[in-house]
């Protein structure tokens, strides 16, 4: 009955039809403007990623936070793509470090892979690529853009989306282009992953002992602050405070490692200069070699650089 009334109204009242037509035009214009704005934003992100999607719906899915599901029946979250992207990323990094560092054993290769795929590293990469800026979030949830977990999940989802939109080789090249600079900083990444282990390893090379001392703990039970001091070879190198003893030790170890490496590098330079000076004096006072004496060739031992020894 209501439909019949509406039809009669439309037939006998042209003004109603005009108003409805104008409303449709306005709605279409708004939708078109929104699509153009979205496409412009997406183009900027694709340029940043270094990959142009053939199917933009896959990219949009990768950028959809799980909290947005339920807003529309057509909306899919990025969780499935995150699952896929995690597996693809692990394969890419495993293949790369295996081929790049053929002198490393499986233990060190595993450390490198973990360093390059751990959550905080991926969230930093995601922010560098501006991925969180384009996340589709529910209203009133803008704070989620700043959450490392959301950035990490979106990063893995985008990797999965690129793989689905192209193939493994294209995904590999694209992902490695993001990693290019960081692959040259692997030792630092491994140290950041386990600073206490890295400090222990560096000290062991000079037969020095690492010691952690709890200096103080303060504050109420629910908000304790622990202050720790770390020393190597009996020399205090750093102090740090954190909400747990373990975290304080890690922070102190990271700071101490930097100081210790500076100290050992300076010591090595001094030893080298000393060796060169004594060698020069010996050469000046040494008697001339007999002609026809058997020539000896010193064997040059090429040790891995500090970057590869960790």
| Residues 129-153 as b or e (16 or more Cβ within 10 Å = b) | bebbebbbbeeeeeebbeeeebbbb
Catalytic residue among 61, 152, 153, 156: 156
Q: Token pair of 77, please?
A: 């979250």
Told to judge if 86 belongs to the known catalytic residues of this protein, a careful annotator would answer yes
Query: Per CATH, which fold does 50-182 belong to?
Result: Ribonuclease iii, N-terminal Endonuclease Domain; Chain A (1.10.1520)
Spatial separation of the C-alpha atoms in residues 124 and 148, rounded to whole Å: 8
Which residues 6+ apart lie within 8 Å of 258 measured at CB? none
**pLDDT given for residue 268 in this prediction:** 62
**pLDDT given for residue 38 in this prediction:** 64
**pLDDT given for residue 61 in this prediction:** 93
CB 113 within 8 A of CB 102: no
Catalytic residue among 61, 82, 86, 249: 86
Which residues 6+ apart lie within 8 Å of 31 measured at CB? none
From first to last of the 310 residues of the chain, give the pLDDT tens digit.
Answer: 566 655 555 555 666 666 767 777 776 666 566 556 666 778 899 999 999 999 999 999 999 998 887 655 567 899 999 999 999 999 999 998 898 878 778 887 888 888 889 888 899 899 999 999 999 888 888 888 999 999 999 999 999 999 999 999 999 999 999 988 655 555 566 666 678 888 888 889 889 999 999 999 998 877 789 999 999 999 999 999 988 898 899 889 888 888 888 887 666 666 555 654 555 444 434 444 444 443 333 332 323 333 334 3
**pLDDT given for residue 23 in this prediction:** 76
**pLDDT given for residue 255 in this prediction:** 87
**pLDDT given for residue 89 in this prediction:** 97
Q: Token pair of 305, please?
A: 């650089």
In three-state form (DSSP H/G/I as H, E/B as E, the rest C), the secondary structure along the chain is CHHHHHHHHHHHCHHHHHHHHHHHHHHHHHHHHHHHHHHHHHHHHHHHHCCCCCCHHHHHHHCECHHHCCCCCCCCCCHHHHHHHHHHHHHHHHHHHHHHCCCCCHHHHHHHHHHHHCHHHHHHHHHHCCHHHHCECCCCCHHHHHCHHHHHHHHHHHHHHHHHHCCHHHHHHHHHHHHCCHHHHHHHHHHHHCHHHHHHHHHHCCCCCEEEEEEEEECCHHHCEEEEEEEECCEEEEEEEECCHHHHHHHHHHHHHHHHHHHHHHHHHHHHHHHHHHHHHHHHHCCCCCCCCCCCCCCCCCCCCHHHHC
The domain ranges of the chain are 1-49, 50-182, 194-274
Told to judge if 184 belongs to the known catalytic residues of this protein, a careful annotator would answer no
CB 211 within 8 A of CB 230: yes
CATH of 194-274, one of 3.50.50.60, 3.90.700.10, 3.30.160.20, 3.40.50.10140: 3.30.160.20
Spatial separation of the C-alpha atoms in residues 289 and 94, rounded to whole Å: 55
């Amino acid at each position: 009955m209501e439909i019949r009334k509406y039809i009669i109204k439309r037939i006998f009242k042209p003004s109603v039809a005009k108003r409805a037509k104008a409303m449709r035009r306005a709605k279409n214009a708004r939708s078109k403007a929104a699509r153009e704005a979205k496409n412009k934003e997406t183009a900027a992100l694709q340029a940043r990623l270094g990959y142009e999607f053939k199917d933009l719906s896959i990219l949009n899915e990768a950028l959809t936070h799980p909290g947005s599901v339920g807003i529309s029946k057509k909306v899919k979250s990025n969780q499935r793509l995150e699952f896929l992207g995690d597996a693809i990323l692990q394969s890419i990094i495993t293949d790369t470090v295996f081929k790049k560092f053929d002198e490393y054993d499986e233990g060190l290769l595993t450390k490198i892979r973990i360093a390059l795929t751990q959550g905080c590293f991926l969230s930093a990469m995601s922010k560098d690529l501006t991925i969180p800026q384009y996340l589709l979030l529910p209203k009133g949830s803008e704070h989620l853009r700043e959450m490392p977990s959301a950035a990490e999940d979106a990063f893995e989802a985008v990797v999965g989306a690129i793989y689905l939109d192209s193939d493994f080789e294209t995904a590999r090249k694209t992902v490695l282009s993001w990693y290019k600079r960081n692959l040259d900083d692997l030792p630092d990444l491994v140290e950041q992953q386990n600073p206490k282990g890295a400090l222990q390893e560096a000290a062991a090379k000079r037969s020095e002992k690492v010691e952690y001392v709890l200096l103080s703990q303060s504050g109420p039970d629910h908000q304790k602050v622990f202050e720790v001091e770390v020393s190597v070879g009996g020399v205090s190198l750093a102090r740090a405070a954190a909400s747990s003893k373990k975290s304080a030790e890690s922070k102190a170890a990271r700071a101490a490692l930097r100081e210790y490496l500076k100290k050992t590098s300076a010591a090595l330079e001094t030893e080298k200069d000393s060796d060169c000076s004594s060698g020069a004096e010996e050469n000046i006072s040494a008697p001339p070699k007999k002609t026809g004496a058997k020539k000896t060739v010193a064997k040059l031992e090429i040790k891995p650089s500090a970057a590869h020894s960790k």
